[in-house]
Amino acid sequence: MICYGATVLDLVEDLVDAYAEVFSAPPWNENEESIQRFHYRLCNDADRPGFRAVLAQSRQGIDGFAIAWLTPKSLPDTRTYAKVAAQLGPDRVRELLVGALELDELAVRRHARPAGVGRSLLSELVDDAPSGRAWVPMSRRATSTVASYRRLGWHEVAPLPEAGGAGSDVVVFLAPGHPRAELAA
């Protein structure tokens, strides 16, 4: 199920509960303050252009979710955007990321992981992306997550040589169907 814009806020408490279960566990170990920040971010991010949340639900409630929005023409000076811009350079940011669907969060409860819920959420999200253009930035230290995206066919975008190569702490992946995936290497 996909929710667009502020309609997701009807489920905000359920999403925060799922987020808390997933991200308070290792390796993330987020505390109550971080979980409350997610609640605040979700309420604000729902107003972003192109915001959407893909949800997996069962009788147990929300089993998982993915949150994304369209990447603006100029990357904000927050979170990992400065690192992404430095790694890729303005031309590749414009060509690969601007107007593409940016995955911000993917959370799958432990009981739903063996059923492939994460893979299904990503697939549904990419199917809803403009021309298959989707991407995700993540910490290189999240080694199991990085490995999962590679296994699922996402394409790691190589940093510009002057950006420090593989020494960067941020990894940018393009969705398997991204029409410019050949530029990833």
| Burial (CB count <10 Å: 0-12, 13-18, 19+), residue 17 | middle
The pLDDT of residue 143 is above 90? no
Count of positions (residues) in the chain: 185
CA atoms within 13 A on the CB side of 86: 13
User: CA–CA separation, 66 vs 84, rounded Å?
Assistant: 21
Nearest to 68 by CA among 47, 81, 54, 88: 54
Q: In the chain, count H helices and then E strands.
A: 5, 7
Cβ-contact 153, 177 below 8 angstroms: no
Looking at per-residue confidence, does 166 or 66 come out higher?
66
What DSSP state is assigned to residue 170? E
Give the CA radius of gyration of the chain. 16
Burial of residue 141 (number of CB atoms within 10 Å: 0-12, 13-18, 19+):
exposed
Instruction: Using alpha carbons only, give the angle 155, 89, 138 rounded to the nearest 5 degrees.
Output: 45
pLDDT digits (tens, 9 = 90+) for 160-183: 877 655 557 899 999 998 998 877
pLDDT tens profile 38-54:
999 999 999 999 999 99
Of 97, 91, 152, nearest to 119 by C-alpha is 152
How many domains in the chain?
1
> pTM for the full model?
0.91
Which amino acid is located at 185 in the chain? A
Of 175, 18, 173, 16, the closest CA to residue 87 belongs to: 173
- Band of pLDDT at residue 25, cut at 50, 70 and 90: confident
Reply yes or no on whether the pLDDT at 10 is more than 90: yes
CATH of the domain at 37: 3.40.630.30
Work out the number of other CB atoms within 10 angstroms of the CB of residue 101: 26
**pLDDT tens-place string over residues 67-123:** 999 999 988 886 678 889 988 999 999 999 999 999 999 999 999 999 999 999 999
Mean pLDDT within 54-70:
95
Structure tokens at 75: 């990357």
Structural domain range at position 179 = 2-184
